[in-house]
Amino acid sequence: MSKTVMIVDDSGSFRTVVKMALTKAGYEVVEACDGKDAVGKLDGRKYNVVVCDVNMPQMDGITFVKHLKASPAYKFTPVIMLTTESQESKKAEGKAAGARAWITKPFQPSQLVDAVARLAV
């Protein structure tokens, strides 16, 4: 049974590109357009890993991660932040919120696939 990844990003084209890379590697992908949409998809479905952007409308990535970690069902779901942000303060914020990895755009598809493979539960 293939593992499921949730990708949270407000750019539809970017979600499509990431979905292509992960699908090719054998993962099922669930998309969310921002943090609020992603919260709506925390409905009991199992996600082996969450890949999340930082700067999004309605609910940013850091807030979403805090929300995810507060949920008993998703407390241990690994989160990879995938963003253009590279400031150390932002990284520290992500780490404090519970993220397990930080990927700075632009990135190679293989980097994302390797990180997902490493962290997916």
Partner 1 sequence: MESLTAEAHLDPQTRPTPVARWTARLRRLPLMPLVAAAAVALACALAAQGGWLALLSAPVGSAVAAVLVWRAGRSPVAAPVTPSPAPEIASPAAPAAALVDEGGARLMVSRVVPVWRRQLETARGSTEESFNEMVQAFARVADGLSTLASQAEMAAPTHAGASAVDEVIAARPDMVEELLQPMRRAVQQRDEAARALTEGAESLRQLDRAAKECKALARHTRMVATNASIEAKRHGGHGNAQEQRGRFDAVAAEIRTLGDRSAELGEQLQRALADLTRQFEPLRRHAELHDITEDELHLEARIQARKVLAGLMTDLGRSLQASHEMRALATQMRDDVDAVFLGFQAGDRVGQMLDILERDVRKLIDWNATRASASHADADAWLAELEQSYTMTEQRNQHHNTVSVDTDAGVEFF
Q: Which residues bind partner 1 (CB under 8 A)?
A: 11, 13-14, 17, 21, 54-55, 83-87, 91, 94-95, 99-111, 114-115, 118
| Least distance to partner 1, CB of residue 44, Å | 27
When the beta carbons of 45 and 114 are compared against partner 1, the nearer one is: 114
| β-pair partners for 11 | none
When the beta carbons of 45 and 121 are compared against partner 1, the nearer one is: 121
In angstroms, rounded to a whole number, what is the distance separating the alpha carbons of residues 102 and 53?
10
| Least distance to partner 1, CB of residue 12, Å | 10
Reference 52, options 99, 91, 92, 111; nearest CA is 99
CB 100 within 8 A of CB 52: no
| β-pair partners for 76 | none
When the beta carbons of 14 and 41 are compared against partner 1, the nearer one is: 14
In angstroms, rounded to a whole number, what is the distance separating the alpha carbons of residues 71 and 85?
26
| Least distance to partner 1, CB of residue 108, Å | 6
